[in-house]
Structure 1
Amino acid sequence: MALRIFRLVAILCFPILLAACGQQSPPAGPSKKVVVASEASFPPMEFVEDSGAIVGFDIDLIKVVAAAADVELEIKNVAWDGIFGALKSGTADVIASSVTITDERKGQFDFSTPYLRAGQVILVRTADKGAFPDLASLKGKRVGVQISTTGAERMQKEPVELKQYNTAGLAVIDLINGNVDAVMIDRPVADYYAARKAEFAKKVVVAGEPYTTEQFGFVVRKGDAELLAKLNRGLEKVKDDGTLAKLEEKWFR
C-alpha cells in the first residue's frame, strides 16, 4: 500500500515539477556594452592613428576606468557637433572627448568627477611668436576656434574676426596657411601641434599662458546614476593606483 501511495504521489507531482522547471529564468545573456562617443580629431586627447584605431589620452583613460569598474565598452568616433545629441538620443551612453565641465552643460547632463585640469591658449605661427602677448593684441585679427567649444565661447567676447571650424585640426591648418592669425585651443592640444605633430612642429607656437582654467569630465545622460557611479569608482581607482599619472606622462610629456 505504501508503495502504491508513493507512486500515486509521484505521478501527481510530476507535472507540477515540469511546470516549475519551465518557469525557471533563462541564463543571463552577455552584459550590454557601454557605447562611448569621442570626437577623434583632437590629438593627443583622441584621434585616429594610421591603423584606423582610435587612440589618445581620453581613450586610454576611459578604457582603464571601465576595466576598474568592470564595464565593457564600445568606442565610436562621433563628430563634435553631434556628440551631445548622440548622448541625448541614446546612440551613446558616455562622452569621453575632452569635455569641459560648465554650469550650462551640467544643466543638461551629468558629469563624472574631474580627471584633468586644462585651459585655453593662443596658438600662432612661429614667426608671430612675440606679436600677440595677450588677448588685447588680437583686436581686429582673425582668430580660429572649433565650433561649440569653450574656446569659441571665450573668443566671442573679444573684438576679433572669429572663424569657426568643425575640427581643431582644420583651424591649425588655416593658421599655417595664413588664413587666420591665431587659434584658441586647449593647452594639451596646442602643445601637441607645436611640439609633437611632425607636419606642424616648429611652424606654430603657444603664445603666453592659458586664458581660462577648465576641468574635463566624462559625460552621461541626466539621471544615469548607476553608470555615473561606476565611472567615478573607476576614476578613483586609477587615480589612487597611479595609472592616471602614468597616462599623463605618456601623452603630455
Structure 2
Amino acid sequence: MSPAAPRRPSRSTLLIVGVLVIGIAGIVYSRVRQAPDAGTVAATSLAGANSAILKGTLDPKAQALIPADYRFVTPGTFTVATHPGQLPLADYGTDSKDVVGIEPDIARLIADGLGLKLVIVPVAWADWPLGLESGKYDAVLSNVTVTEERKKKFDFSSYRYDLLGIYTRTDGPIQKIEKPADVAGLKVVVGASTNQDQILRQWDQQNIAAGLKPVEYQYFDDAVVGRLAVITGRADVSFEPNATGAYSARDGKVRRVGLFPGGWPNAAAISVTTRKGSGLADAVTQALNTQISSGTYAQALKRWNVAEEAVPQSQTNPPGLPTL
C-alpha cells in the first residue's frame, strides 16, 4: 500500500469520478477464501506475549553482514517504526500498549535473526520517511510498497507480495470481479490517495470511455465504517489491501470476489525499508531468508491469515513500481 499525491477527504462520504487514464492488463486471482486458517490467532492472545509465541532463528551470516560502521539507534536493539491502524498489519493489543500484527511479528523474527532486542515505535504513516532518513529508527515495517521513486532514498528487503482484494457482503449478488468493466456502476469503498484508489480511477476512466456507468467512490475516515457500508449494502464492494480484507473476512460477513497485484498491472512487493546506503538491507534480507527456511516466517503469515502473500525468498531492492 502506498499513498499517492496527498489529498484530504471530508469526514463524510465523497462521490468522485476519477480522471487518470492507463491501458489495461491484468493479473487475476479467482480463489476466494471466506474462513480463517486454523492457525489464525486473535490479537487478544498476542498482546503482551508476542515474543513467547514466535521466536526467530539466530543467523550468524546475517550478523556478519551488518556493516562494522553501522550505528543502531540504540546499541543492541533493532528499532522499527510501524503505523498501528488496522489488523492484521499492526494495531494496539488489548492492553492498548503493545503493538501486534504481522508487521511487528516479522520485525521480531528479523531482530532475533540479527541477535538484537526489538523496539517498536508507533508512527503516523506520513512521518516514517523523514524519521527513517533522520535516524530515528533503523527500519520501517508498515506495509510499504517498493517503488522506483522510493528506491532513490531507501533500501528494501521484500517479505510479502502486495495484493489488493475486492470484497462484498457474503449474501450479496456480486460473484466475481476480474476486469475493469466489472466495477462499472458500482459503489466502491476505497482508501483515498492509495494505490487501489489510483487503479480504480484508471479502470473507471476506461469504462466511461467505453460508454459504461461510472464508479461511485466512497471514502471514509474510519475503516470500520467503510466495512459496515459494505455489510449493510450501502456500498457494493470494498477495494483494499488483501491482508486487511482477508483478516476481516474471518467472521463470514464478507467474501472476496477479486484479487489483483498491488501495482496493477505490475506485480509489487511489500518490503522492510532501511536508509539508502546504510548497508543494513543485506543483513535484513539474509535474516528474513533464514526465517523463511526455518518455517517461522510461514507461521507468522498463517496466523494473521495472509499466507497467500508469502514470498519464496527475500530480495534486496527488488524491482519497484514505475513512476506514473
TM-score computed with the length of structure 1 as normaliser: 0.73
Q: What is the deviation of 1:244?
A: 0.9
C-alpha change, 1:156 and 1:108, in structure 2 (3 Å) is: farther
Moved more, 232-241 or 162-171: 162-171
Q: Identify the residue that residue 124 of structure 1 maps to in structure 2.
A: 168
Q: Identify the residue that residue 245 of structure 2 maps to in structure 1.
A: 190
- Describe the superposition over 1:101-125 as per-residue Cα deviations: whole angstroms up to 9, x where unpaired: 222322332111x212241111122
Identity across matched positions, percent: 26
- Describe the superposition over 1:158-191 as per-residue Cα deviations: whole angstroms up to 9, x where unpaired: 3233344556445324433555432211222211
Contiguous gaps of at least 5 residues in structure 2: 1-73, 205-214, 308-324
> Greater relative contact order (Cα 8 A, min sep 6): structure 1 or 2?
2
Mapped to 2, the partners of 1:90 and 1:179 lie a distance apart of 45
Q: Secondary structure of the equivalent of 2:80? A: strand
Aligned pairs (5 A) from 1:63-74: 63-74=108-119
Q: Which of 1 and 2 has greater Rg?
A: 1
Q: What is the deviation of 1:206?
A: 1.0
Q: Identify the residue that residue 278 of structure 2 maps to in structure 1.
A: 224
C-alpha change, 1:147 and 1:69, in structure 2 (3 Å) is: farther
Q: Is the 8 A contact 1:129 1:205 kept in 2?
A: no
The structure with more helix, counted as a fraction of residues = 1
Q: What letter matches 2:143 in structure 1?
A: S
Q: What is the deviation of 1:140?
A: 3.7
Q: What letter matches 1:222 in structure 2?
A: K
> What is the Cα-based RMSD across aligned positions, in Å?
2.6
Q: Residue 248 in 1 paired to residue 293 in 2? A: no
Q: Identify the residue that residue 230 of structure 2 maps to in structure 1.
A: 175
204, 210, 216: which one aligns with 2:254: 204
Q: What letter matches 1:155 in structure 2?
A: L
Mapped to 2, the partners of 1:84 and 1:181 lie a distance apart of 35
Q: What is the deviation of 1:235?
A: 0.9
TM-score computed with the length of structure 2 as normaliser: 0.59
Q: What is the deviation of 1:131?
A: 5.8
C-alpha change, 1:222 and 1:164, in structure 2 (3 Å) is: farther
Q: Is the 8 A contact 1:80 1:166 kept in 2?
A: no
Q: Secondary structure of the equivalent of 2:120? A: strand
C-alpha change, 1:120 and 1:129, in structure 2 (3 Å) is: farther
Moved more, 144-153 or 53-62: 144-153
